[in-house]
Amino acid sequence: MVYLSETQEDYLLDILKHTTKSTVARIKDIAKTRNVSLPTVVSAIKTLAEKNIINHEKYGYITLTDYGIELAKNLLERKKNILRFLTFTLGIPEDIAIIDAHKLEHDLSKQTYEQFIKLTDFLAANPLIKEQFDKFAKREAYMKLNEINVGETAKIVKIENSPIKSKLLSMGTTPGVQIKVEKVAPLGDPIEVTLLGYHLTLRKDEAEKIIVER
């Protein structure tokens, strides 16, 4: 496989986009999408043509060679896979993932890339493990009730296993319930919270067992 620079890869993908839309791409269209001047495009096209990736015909029309098409499709595939790795496997929000994928696309070694795909496929095939990982990953975002500031409201995620679990659950501290920290006792412990329209007091080491998210 030939080596393409980052910019060359981008050109190739742009050309693929245009050619799939209307069989041929024109230099001025490409200049427009990439927001560069015509001469810049012309010189880039020249290099690609030299590598036998595209056919540069007259009137500024460009088509991909068979080799070029395969190359571009591989590139596209790679781009998609990396994006999927970021969003699905790592759970990165799409807007951040697109930016990061762009950074990874060009510089990633083949080995690392292939392991990325394997990991993504493995997790897709084993939803329970995926779920465990998601929970594990999300835990960082979770807090314990005793860490919530006075006046703040949080949503209960779960009650940790402990002798007080069943008591807490039966008093209505079930997952999904909104819980507000009202105040701390004058001596710093216990705390007072409201949930389901009533007031509850519990010690901080008891509140520790209630996992919440803000």
Partner 1 sequence: MKSFTVALIGNPNVGKSAIFNELTGSSAHVGNWPGVTVEKKEGKFTYLDTQINVVDLPGIYSLSANSIDERIARDFIVKEKPDLVVCIVDSTNLVRNLYLFVSLKELGVKTLLVLNMIDLIEDKLEIDTTKLSSSLKTRVVKTSATKKIGIGELKEAIFDELHYPQEELYVDYGNDIERSIERIKNLLNGTNLPYNKRFLAIKLLEQDPLIIQELKQQQKENIVENAILEINSLEKIYPDLETEIIEKRYGLIEGVVKNSTKHLVSIEDRLTTSDRIDKIVTNRYLGIPLFALAMLIVFEATFKLGGFFADYIEQFFGWAGDGLSQYIHNPILQSFVKDGLIGGVGTVIVFLPNILILFLFLSFLEDVGYMARAAFVMDRLMHSIGLPGRAFIPLILGFGCNVPAIMATRTIADEKDRLLTILINPFISCTARLPIYVLLTGIFFKENHPGLIIFSLYALGIIVAILSAKLFRSTIPQLKGKVSFLIMELPIYRMPTIKAVLLHAWERSREFLKKAGTIILLGVILVWLLSSIPFGVKYASEQSFVGALGKFFAPILSPSGFGFWQAAVALIFGLLAKETVVGTMGTLFGGEDKLSIALPHLFSPLSAYAFMVMSLLYIPCIATIGVIYRETNSLKWTAFSVFYSLFIGWISATLIYQIGSIL
Site residues for partner 1 per CB under 8 A: 128, 158-159, 163-172, 174-176, 183-190, 192, 196-203, 206
Q: Which residue has the tokens 């216990």?
A: 190
CB of 6 to partner 1, least distance (A): 45
Q: Which is nearer to partner 1, 63 or 174 (CB)?
A: 174
Q: Are 156 and 179 in contact (CB under 8 A)?
A: yes
Per-residue tokens: 176: 């999904």
Residue 114 or 160 with smaller CB distance to partner 1? 160
Give least dist CB 132 to partner 1, A.
Answer: 8
Query: In this complex, which beta carbon is closest to partner 1, that of residue 14 or of residue 189?
Result: 189
CB of 49 to partner 1, least distance (A): 58
Phi, psi of 114 (to 5 degrees): -65, -35
Report CA 175 to chain centroid distance, whole Å. Answer: 26
Nearest to 133 by CA among 175, 93, 89: 89
Cβ neighbours for 137, distance < 8 A, ≥ 6 positions apart: 91
- State which residue, 26 or 165, has the beta carbon closest to partner 1: 165
Minimum CB separation of residue 157 from partner 1 in Å reads 10
CB closer to partner 1 out of 93 and 188: 188
Give the shortest CB-130-to-partner 1 separation in angstroms: 14
Distance CA(165)–CA(203), nearest Å, equals 14
